[in-house]
């Protein structure tokens, strides 16, 4: 008797499953949610990669702009003490060194504590993309007689 009841229930379930075709609305919603979560995860990781690439590009440009100013200052025959990091310097530089960019460049020339015939040259670049950034390059320049 119990076995016959179980068999009858199984037959009804089997008929019910055979009659159902396609997906229910809830199944479609669950599948869509899974796909949306996967796409959002991918897009967030892509945004992080793009942000990192932009930061690396800006850092490279800043290094080149600092090195360019450093070479200009080292080429001077007579370096005098100068501090252009308070209000003077180059403002709004682009990657080519022309106006219209995000980079601020200043420099400082001071006597070195190591020798009277040396000058310390510091070039500082700052910029803002996703955060504030700043780098400083320093070198010593011989200003004595050759």
CA distance 28 to 38: 16
CA distance 107 to 76: 14
Residue 111 CB neighbour total at 10 angstroms: 14
pLDDT tens-digit map of 94-107: 888 888 999 999 99
User: Model's pTM, two decimal places?
Assistant: 0.68
22 conformational bin, left if phi > 0, alpha if psi -120 to 50, beta if neither? left
Per-residue confidence of the chain (146 residues) as pLDDT tens digits?
666 667 677 777 677 666 656 778 888 898 899 999 988 888 888 888 898 899 999 999 999 999 999 999 998 878 899 999 877 888 988 888 888 999 999 999 999 999 888 999 999 999 998 889 999 999 999 987 65
In DSSP terms, which residues pair with 137 in a beta bridge? Answer: 123
pLDDT tens-digit map of 120-136: 999 999 999 888 999 99
Q: How much is the pLDDT for 3?
A: 62
Nearest to residue 90, comparing CAs of 100, 74, 70, 104? 104
């Amino acid at each position: 008797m119990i076995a016959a009841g179980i068999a009858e229930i199984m037959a009804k379930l089997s008929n019910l499953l055979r009659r159902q075709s396609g997906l229910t609305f809830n199944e479609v919603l669950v599948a869509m949610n899974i796909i949306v979560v996967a796409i959002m995860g991918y897009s967030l990781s892509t945004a992080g990669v793009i942000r990192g690439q932009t930061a690396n590009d800006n850092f490279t440009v800043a290094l080149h702009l600092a090195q360019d100013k450093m070479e200009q200052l080292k080429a001077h025959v007579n370096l005098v003490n100068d501090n252009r990091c308070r209000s003077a310097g180059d403002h709004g530089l682009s990657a080519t060194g022309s106006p219209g960019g995000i980079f601020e460049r200043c420099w400082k020339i001071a006597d070195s504590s190591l020798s009277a015939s040396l000058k310390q040259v510091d070039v500082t670049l700052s910029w803002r993309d996703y955060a504030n950034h700043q780098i400083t390059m320093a070198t010593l320049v011989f200003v004595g007689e050759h």
